[in-house]
Amino acid sequence: MSDLTHLFEKIARGDVPSHKVYEDEQVFAFLDINPLSRGHTLVIPRQRYERLDDLPPEVGAAIGRALPRIAAAVCRATGAHSYNVLSNTGREAGQVVPHVHFHIIPWHGPDRSLGIRWPATPIEEDDAKALRDEIASALADGH
């Protein structure tokens, strides 16, 4: 287990200092120590779940309730109108801290925001139908 495994639990408990912007029974939010842009904020469940898809529904709901309010406050405080919300899940996708978290990254100009490579190509109809069926069936199975 890396040193980072329990970092965000310690932050939520106040055992490691942070600049807290919000807390409730299940959710904690604080400024990122290494922001991509001014106002870059992390929103986490107090309890550690490694991946977004590990979250129990009630914890997901608590995060979902808090995120829009915190995003609005970050915008008000920083004067940003646009922002990205991002949850890196899995090491290959950029997750460094194995405790699910949502980044709120205000847009303050092309060099002071999240830079995204988005190499999109049009979906193919046959693949879209197959995918739709597979995802719908995984949802129906509860996986």
Grouping H, G, I as helix, E, B as strand and the rest as coil, residue 142 is coil
Cα 3 from Cα 122, distance rounded (Å) = 42
Determine the interface stretch with ligand 5GP among 66-74, 90-98, 106-114, 115-123 (rule: CB under 6 A): 90-98
Active site residue 103: no
Determine the interface stretch with ligand 5GP among 60-68, 69-77, 93-101, 129-137 (rule: CB under 6 A): 93-101
Print the binding letters for residues 13-52 with ligand 5GP: x by CB under 6 A, - otherwise: -----x-----------xxxxx-------x----------
The reply on whether position 96 binds ligand 5GP by CB under 6 A is: yes
Q: Starting at the earlier edge strand, list the strands of the sheet with 27-31.
A: 20-23, 27-31, 41-45, 102-106, 83-86
Strand partners, 41: 31, 104
Catalytic residues, which ones? 101
